[in-house]
A and B are shown apart, each in its own frame.
Chain A
Amino acid sequence: LLPCEIQYNGHAAVDKYFIPTI
């Protein structure tokens, strides 16, 4: 769940730009 509203539905290169961290 993101702390911002992305006004778009569709593909996102999450693996490339996002590194989930605990």
Chain B
Amino acid sequence: MELAPFEQKNWGSSRLSSPVPPLCRTQQCCLGIDEAGRGPVLGPMVYGICFCPLSKKQDLEELKVADSKTLSEAERERLFEKLDSLKEYLGWALQILSPNVISTSMQQRVKYNLNALSHDTAIALIQYALDSGVQLREVFVDTVGPAEKYQEKLQERFPELEVTVKPKADALFPIVSAASICAKVARDYAVKHWKFLEDLEDVNLDYGSGYPNDPKTKEWLAKNLDPVFGYPQFVRFSWSTAQSILDSRAVPIRWDDSDGHEKASSKGSQSMLAFFGLKKDDMRRPAHRFFQERKLETARDL
């Protein structure tokens, strides 16, 4: 799998896709969506879609892609090569969400949690297939959050399609399993070939499973923590494992909106009288507007 566009800009989001088979533009198709790398604290999350004509569903079943979870990395890669060779009737597309995109989305001021990000990514991929001329009829998706609500959301967005959201969809629907293979292979590759943007010396990729409860992963995080800058962008800062190590070992940093919570809680414990007394600063004549507007003050001392 060739992920050069993502490798070069692995702090953003990248879309990769196969050419759309002509058959998919003329026959009614099914599309499966699955993800890879939701749980780890390291590396990107990948959303994959696969689509093929309804008439080719049986061919996919015969490929036995449904057992993808039991496969090794090498076996998955072989299966992907097989899928990719079915260019006449099978197409795929991937959306790679870098750890940086995941972190910044989840930590932005207007809440945008991982489920919302996942839903939007899936919707964008379906739309991509439609925009590319694929004659979509059926969509099969693994659950992200409550299945019914997700199905409702997708159905409302795409009323012309038949949407099925089910847990363990990759075991039930070969087209979803095919998408799962594509997503997993992409994630494996992206992690293996990760180029650290940061100029780090002797960083190794022996981070264990990458899951937050893996002691080896935690050790890797602690070892690669910079007290001012935190982690390399390989890490999902928004994961609570990453955050708790930062809280205990990094220098404290305050932002413009940091005090919002502190002020709210401290005001509750203040006496009402505190708001009515004149403080010493209030008794000083206020500075001229010129200085106030520019946040300039007289320096009393260094």
Contact = CB atoms under 8 A, between A and B. Distances in A.
Interface of A: 3-8, 12-13, 15-19
B251 interface: yes
Given A6-B228, A8-B227, A15 B251 contact: no
B255 interface: yes
Q: Is the interface of B mostly helix, strand, loop or mixed?
A: loop
19 contacts: A3-B255, A4-B254, A4-B255, A4-B256, A5-B255, A6-B253, A7-B251, A7-B253, A7-B254, A8-B227, A8-B228, A8-B251, A13-B226, A13-B228, A15-B199, A16-B198, A16-B199, A16-B229, A17-B228
Contacts, number: 38
A8 to B, nearest CB: 4
A20 to B, nearest CB: 14
B296 to A, nearest CB: 15
Interface of B: 197-200, 226-229, 251-256
Contacts of A8: 227-228, 251-252
Given A8-B252, A15-B199, 14 more contacts: A4-B254, A4-B255, A5-B255, A6-B251, A6-B252, A6-B253, A7-B254, A8-B228, A12-B228, A16-B226, A16-B229, A17-B198, A18-B229, A19-B197
Contacts of A5: 253-255
